[in-house]
Chains A and B, each alone.
Chain A
């Protein structure tokens, strides 16, 4: 049983403690709580260097200190505080850095509201468990045999067929019904590959619809998108060895993952608000009446500085867009500003929580929007690598990892 140490404040009073425990249980893990003696608390707070007013936050620090000093045994760490609590947010983010300086355990942080439910926590918990339990599988660098990967995302569904470490078929389409979208994607990808479904030796599924598809397609591998996408990204970019940062701006949430030899050692995933995701760019292209595939090149011709736009909330972001169009700005400037705003949000919300390591690999469907890659470059000061077939990371990762489970 994987032990996930919980460092938190407010979970029992926000009706989320049972959701946390349920999410952990679903992925075969157990939440544990490092015990601390009262007389250690003040000392721990002093050593940590930040003295919060709330005793529960002091306890969080002391519990983290037990983990950092290896006085308490756990496999992974979950740090959570209430959304909108400033003191809690400070402790949460600083504790993450602190424990990671001292122990090499996967850590995930989360700020919750009373509406947080187990499914929202599941992907994060599952990734913690995968990193602990499937280290050897995640270390696999080559795909073998004939396998397929299905990536059921919130916006699009992708299928990839691989044979002996080469992509031989691929297809994507917008997600409607999870199963029929996957069925179409797989059929088309098999057509391109020129192989029959019965010939497939294994199928791997990932993304929001992974469990449903896993059952329907009798998949050998059903795994969350954080670890699968990382694998796909480093394979596609040819960066399997050494360190890298993967930025995946998805349809519903953004992910930033740091990897060492292809295995994630830190990740963040968009939390409460899905405002600054790929979905926002979809809304923008609809409003500007341009195809999403043309939004990037349009943005490349514009100047984001001419338009003030904040997509933290997509509703307000679209309001900004309408106002700036009314003020006479060009479509190109508005498109550039939209890309820039999303990049800024990724920087403010995700990249603050991880240590950005070069090279940066930008993946997912949104990495095909060149204006967004340019905006990330402006924000980060270095141009991200966008590998060929970057939208197929999930499919490639699932095909590759499922081949590791062949007998």
Chain B
């Protein structure tokens, strides 16, 4: 199944989802075509004015352009999501994941899809890490 992960660029989540036999919907894949397409109109990433308009599907015109532009990248991942894993208080990441408002909006939109969601805290010690990995495995195995 296709699993939306938050943070969508997380090494740990993306690895665990793949390891346990599912497909993580990652930011890296969403960005791939925007950094490798033949004509990049808006370097360094190809987020163009048209993309920011596409973001209107997810957030209205009164929402800052940076959120709409980010949603143009996030949004299609959310549209495909069949389940999701959210990690709270994950370490800082910048750029696409740098806007907390966008990150919260993305989670809301996933919740509105009524797909199964697992929410966990970022592990601070061994016990928490064990708990997290076991929960992720159980959650993913339970998806049918």
Interfacial residues, chain A to chain B (CB-CB below 8 A): 9-18, 21, 38, 41, 52-59, 81-85, 87-88, 112-115
Q: Residue-by-residue, is B82-104 near A (CB-CB < 8 Å gives 1, otherwise 0)?
A: 00000000001111111111000
Q: Whose C-beta in chain A lies nearest to the C-beta of B101?
A: A54
Convert B53-74 into 0s and 1s, putting 1 for each residue whose CB lies closer than 8 angstroms to a CB of A: 1000000001111111110110
Answer yes or no: B42 CB below 8 A from chain A CBs.
yes
**B101 contacts A114, CB within 8 Å?**
no
- Say yes or no: is B43 at the interface (Cβ < 8 Å to chain A): yes
| Partner among B44, B49, B66, B92 whose Cβ is within 8 Å of the Cβ of A9 | B66
Say if the beta carbon of B105 comes within 8 Å of chain A.
no
- Whether B3 is near chain A, meaning CB under 8 Å from some CB there, is no
Contact B52–A14 (Cβ < 8 Å):
yes
**B23: Cβ under 8 A from any A Cβ:** no
Whether A15 contacts B52 by the Cβ 8 Å rule is yes
Number of A-B residue pairs having CB atoms within 8 Å of each other in the complex: 101
Q: Contacts of A56 on B, CB cut-off 8 Å?
A: 94-95, 98-99
In the complex, which of the residues A18, A53, A81, A82 contacts B42, with contact meaning CB atoms closer than 8 Å? A18
Per the 8 Å Cβ criterion, residues 7-46 of B in contact with A are 41-45
- Are B63 and A59 in touch, CB under 8 angstroms? no
With A12-B95, A87-B101 known to touch, is A114 a contact of B68 (CB < 8 Å)?
yes
Contact between B99 and A84 (Cβ–Cβ < 8 Å)?
no
Known contacts A18-B42, A55-B92, A55-B94, A13 near B66 by CB under 8 Å? yes
Give the docked Cα–Cα distance between A88 and B101 (Å).
11
Q: Which of chain B's residues have a CB closer than 8 A to the CB of A53?
A: 100-101
* Chain A residue nearest to B51 in the complex (CB): A15
A58 touches B92 (CB 8 A): yes
Interchain CA distance A21-B101 in the complex, whole Å:
26
The 10 closest A-B pairs by CB, nearest first: A10-B66, A56-B98, A13-B69, A82-B64, A14-B65, A114-B52, A55-B92, A53-B100, A82-B66, A54-B100
Residues of chain B at the chain A interface (Cβ within 8 Å): 41-45, 47-49, 51-53, 62-70, 72-73, 92-101
Is A59 a contact of B70 with CB atoms below 8 Å?
no
CB distance from A55 to the nearest CB of B (A): 4
| Contacts known (A55-B92, A82-B65); A13 close to B70, Cβ less than 8 A | yes
> Please, how many angstroms separate the alpha-carbon atoms of A41 and B98 in the complex?
13
Chain B positions within 8 Å of A14 at CB level: 47, 52, 64-66, 68-69
Contacting residues, chain A, for B63 (C-beta < 8 A) = 84
CB distance from B71 to the nearest CB of A (A): 9
- Knowing A18-B43, A88-B64, A114-B65, say if A13 contacts B96 (CB, 8 Å): yes
Tell me the complex Cα distance, A42–B60, Å.
33
Distance (Å) between the CB of B73 and the closest chain A CB?
Answer: 8
* Cα-based distance from A128 to B99 in the complex (angstroms): 28
In contact, A55 and B49 (Cβ under 8 angstroms): no
Shortest B49–chain A CB gap in Å is 5
Interchain nearest-CB distance for A76 vs B (Å):
22
The residues of B that contact A57 with a CB separation of less than 8 Å are 98
Contact A85 B64 (CB under 8 A): yes
Are A85 and B101 closer than 8 Å at their CB atoms?
A: yes
